[in-house]
Amino acid sequence: WTAAATAAAPSPRWLHVASASAAGVASPAQRRRFFSWTDRGPVDAPLPDNIFLRILKGDAPASVVDDDGDLFSFRDKNPASDLHLLVIPRSFVRDASLLRGEQGAALVRRMEAKARSLVLAEVGSSFDPAELALGFHWPPWYSVPWLHLHAIYPRSRLRRRYKYTPFSFKSPEWVVERCTGGKVRR
């Protein structure tokens, strides 16, 4: 690369960090944050273009199903089945792998209860618990870096099954067990 070509080239965020780290400006933690392919964004705050942040602010369209002030629920814009809801906390958590302890487990339980109640309300008396798929995409297999629980119904009509495998799609029970170190409390 010549100096002229480098100056004319677009400068993605990681390039600035790489340049800064070469100059001794970026800390090792900053370098890990930007160079780890499993790290899908900052841990402490969403990026300004995060679609869930924009939805919460009202800057992006969404088919809102419920908002109780703590949890926000809306329809997935690319449904994987006849009914596909997303339940997100209003406060930012990048993904389920960052949840710890009883506080993290309590959040997952609230999200699960909200998702079940919303699906039950939509489906009505024909609801079959075996047809409900609930889960979190585990890093790095998610597209939006904001904790979100998928509620998909019916499971038997699931499209894009490759996105919802046990390898990358973890149940709320699995996440709770991980948060509490194997001590699952109901």
- Look at strands 133-137 and 71-75 and give their pairing: unpaired
Tokens at 160, concatenated: 């894009």
Q: Would you call 150 a catalytic residue per the annotation?
A: no
Average pLDDT over residues 11-27: 41
State pLDDT tens for residues 81-118. 999 999 999 999 999 999 999 999 999 999 999 999 99
Tokens at 112, concatenated: 């699960």
* pLDDT reading at 35 higher than 90: no
Mind giving me the DSSP string for 6-60?
Answer: HHHS---HHHHHHHHHHTT-S-HHHHHHHH-TT--S-SSS--TT-HHHHHHHTSS
Task: List the catalytic residue out of 84, 137, 148, 150.
Answer: 148
Q: Residue 42: count other Cβ atoms within 10 Å of its Cβ.
A: 14
Helices (H), 23-170: 28-35, 51-57, 101-123
* CA distance linking residue 152 with residue 79, whole number of Å: 8
Q: How confident is the model at residue 79 (pLDDT cuts 50, 70, 90)?
A: very high
| pTM of the predicted structure, to 2 decimals | 0.76
State pLDDT tens for residues 129-153. 999 999 999 998 888 999 999 999 9
| pLDDT on residue 32 | 46
Check: CB of residue 112 under 8 Å from CB of residue 136: no
| pLDDT on residue 43 | 75
